[in-house]
Amino acid sequence: MEIGMAADHGGFELKEKIKSFLRDKGYTIKDFGANKLDSTDDYPDFVVPLAKEIGSGKIEKGIAICGSGIGASVAGNKVKGVRAALITDYFSAHQGVEDDNMNLLCLGGRVTGYASAEELVMAYLNAKFSGLERHNRRLQKVASLEK
């Protein structure tokens, strides 16, 4: 599975650590930037291109990181077909996929430690959407807002 990743300056260091961690586990990473630490960059410049590829189905799952994770989540959710969430706990990392078909995990580079981020990312990537009728029904209601 190819994983898309994006981060601004607030998430750059964590993105680089997670990217290396995932490559060591055999994942292919498509990096949408930032490609260098630049304190003047803006998260939408990296998160939106990643979200567009998720929304179009070119990438199945993505990880977006900014300082708090909030901006990445807000930007990602503006793109049709993207279900982004700021995740800070193990349960939500897998439940967000299982029940809500989350396809963009957002993390805060200034608030999430490396070990915790690795655990959250693996819970997210290993989770599968349940496909239960009640979850599909709810997602259809959310998708109707995008029309």
Q: Range of 132's domain?
A: 2-146
- At 1 the pLDDT is 84
pLDDT tens column, 51-106: 999 999 999 999 999 999 999 999 999 999 999 999 999 999 999 999 999 999 99
* CATH number of the domain enclosing 77: 3.40.1400.10
What does the mean pLDDT of the chain come to?
A: 98
Residue 21 vs residues 53, 82, 100, 119: alpha-carbon distances, Å: 22, 24, 26, 11
Catalytic pick among 5, 18, 66, 97: 66
Residues 21-38 pLDDT 10s: 999 999 999 999 999 999
| Sheet bearing 104-108, strands edge to edge | 28-31, 2-7, 61-66, 104-108, 84-86
106 noted as active-site residue: no
pTM confidence score: 0.97
